[in-house]
Amino acid sequence: MEVKHFTCLLSLVLLPLLLPPHFMAFGYETKTIDKLQKIEKLVLSSISGPESLAFDNFGKGPYTGVSNGRILKWQGKDVGWVAFAFNSRHRNAECAVFNNVLLESKCGRPLGLQFHRKTGDLYVADAYFGLFKVGPNGGLMSELASSAEGVPFKFTNGVDIDQERGVVYFTDSSTRFDRSEHILVVLSGDATGRLLKYEPQTKQVTVLKKNLAFPNGVAISDDNTYLLVAESSPCRILKYWLRGPKTGEFELFAELPGYPDNIKRNSRGEFWVAIQKKVQLNGLTSSSALDNPVALRLSKEGKVLEILDGDISTSISEVEERDGTLWLGSVEMPYVGVYKA
């Protein structure tokens, strides 16, 4: 295991004791999720894992990918969740069972989602099968890419879109391990992940950066000059310059007190980063008020503006902020959380 990965693991074990001063509540607005009691739950039926959330051009949704390989759409409390999109593998007998959660590697596992506002198309990063697209009316998804430079995608993960140019940026978290082996990506010190882009006009995939340690969520800045990439194993966020004199260069944006998952930009140009729950070892605990930060709101400069704290069972994979409401995705939970200030 690489030293930096061990340090990250240790920081999760000792998290409340090792948080640097700017991560503490002093001087920052802090909202606390107390054992999920303040969260409205949009419950799924016999499935789980609404990893990523997206709203369409009309503000409808959220849409989310779940453990049976499909994309669902929230139609309000009277209707609930309805099927929106699926891949071609759901035409066979095994995957046609709507609530089959045991065939993830055969039926697919949608992770990152993002709409292109100009076309209404929804782009989907499926962990096992690559990058997909489906039109505004849903239905069968089209496969766009499953490899780059002759190397198949092993663990397609996060996705975001340059809304001006339509360029799609996404991550392949490892070329050695798939999603079912995600723990091994961290424990082995694997750094075979890639940051990629897809050009809809040419249908070409370009590798922007190799040798990343568990690249996860991605988010483009509001002026489209840079892209943030969550590098989960080292517990940090990297900035990749898309325009200007530093084009093509990486630099550190923020170091985090846990494993970052998805990143979503809000309407003010700030970034919500979901943090995977800490690891406790040998009964070590703390009386800190922030025992289990599950998400951070970061400024355009990478400073912590807000902390969401949950109990040890809280698992947040994404935070989508809309009009003062936080929509919470989870790779584990059987619901989407809705948190209103």
Average pLDDT, the chain: 88
Domain count within the chain: 1
Answer yes or no: are the C-beta atoms of 237 and 164 closer than 8 Å. Answer: no
Q: Kindly report, residue by residue over 72-109, the tens digit of the pLDDT.
A: 999 999 999 999 999 999 988 889 887 777 899 999 99
Position 36: which residue type?
Answer: L
Please name the helix (run of DSSP H) or strand (run of DSSP E) that holds residue 94, with its range, or none.
Answer: helix 93-96
Residue 310 or residue 70, greater confidence: 70
Question: Quick one: which H or E segment has residue 8?
Answer: helix 3-13
Q: How many CB atoms lie within 10 A of CB 161?
A: 23
Residue 339 inside a domain? The answer is no
User: Is the residue at 30 inside a domain?
Assistant: yes
Lowest mean pLDDT among 154-158, 202-206, 219-223, 288-292: 288-292
- Inside any domain, residue 332: no
Residue 337 lies in a domain: no
- Cβ-contact 198, 131 below 8 angstroms: yes
Give the model confidence (pLDDT) of 164-204 as tens digits: 999 999 999 999 999 999 999 999 999 999 999 999 999 99
2-23 burial code (b ≥16 CB/10 A, e <16): eebbeebbebbebbbeebeeeb
User: Average pLDDT of 321-332?
Assistant: 94
Please give the pLDDT value at position 29: 58
For residue 144, being part of any structural domain is answered with: yes
Is the overall model pTM greater than 0.85, yes or no? yes
> What is the spatial distance between Cα 47 and Cα 184, in angstroms, rounded to a whole number?
25
The pair of three-digit structure tokens given for residue 110, joined into one six-digit string? 């949608």
pLDDT given at position 36: 55
Alpha helix locations (H) across 171-259? Answer: 182-187
Amino acid at 191: A
Return the pLDDT at 46: 85
| 169 vs 223: CA distance, rounded Å | 15
Query: Domain range spanning residue 231?
Result: 3-327
Residue 84 lies in a domain: yes
CB 1 within 8 A of CB 8: no
Residue with tokens 């990143």: 263
Residue 166, pLDDT score: 97
Give the three-state DSSP class for 191. Answer: coil
Structure tokens at 163: 């809304």
The answer as to whether 94 is a domain residue is: yes
Write the CATH number for 313: 2.120.10.30
Strands 304-309, 29-32: pairing is parallel
Q: Is residue 198 in some structural domain? A: yes
What is the C-alpha separation between 218 and 204, in angstroms, rounded?
19
Half-sphere exposure of 264 (CA within 13 A, CB side): 26
